Amino acid sequence: MKSYFYIITLLIVYGCNQAGNKNPAVADSLIKPKADSNLSEITVKYSYQAILDSILAIPFISNSNHYIDSFSRHRHGIAFMVDSAKSPWLIQAGYNGKDRFETYHWLYVNPTNFDIKVYDVVNDVQLSIADYLKKDK
């Protein structure tokens, strides 16, 4: 009976050690883009946060962020839904509520040159930020 206890204890200890020794190469391979993607690994890895930071600097996105922050009593800010399956990326900016995502702005962003276009849903056109701000006034 004692020998079964020792064997089971050794198996548990061995199994715990194996679970802690995850191979980082395997974990990294799960997040790499597909081979047919036209984006390099560096572009996908580093430009995602730079793109979101540059979008947050746009005046109407910043205003929406402050608006969401005020009505949520400083618990939420603006949220992004990013479709990076193809270039340019489609980014929806809005409020991520408990029941649904409310889109305030649609943006198309080229991840290689950071070209940002605002999608005008009424006229079904993509506008530069400067043209969108002129039209909005």
DSSP E strand boundaries for the chain: 79-83, 89-96, 101-110, 115-120, 125-128
* Tokens 């400083």 belong to residue: 74
Q: Which has more pLDDT, 106 or 16?
A: 106
What pLDDT is attached to residue 20? 44
Q: How many residues does the chain have?
A: 137
Of 53 and 25, which is predicted with more confidence?
53
Residue 31, domain member (yes or no): no
Q: How many domains does the chain have?
A: 1
Residue with tokens 């391979």: 29
Cα 130 to Cα 5: distance, rounded to the nearest angstrom: 73
- Which residue range forms the structural domain that includes residue 44? 36-136
pLDDT digits (tens, 9 = 90+) for 71-84: 877 777 888 999 98
Tell me whether residue 24 is in a domain. no
94: nearest Cα among 108, 109, 111, 82 = 82
The pTM is what? 0.62
What is the pLDDT at residue 71?
81
Residue 28 pLDDT: 35
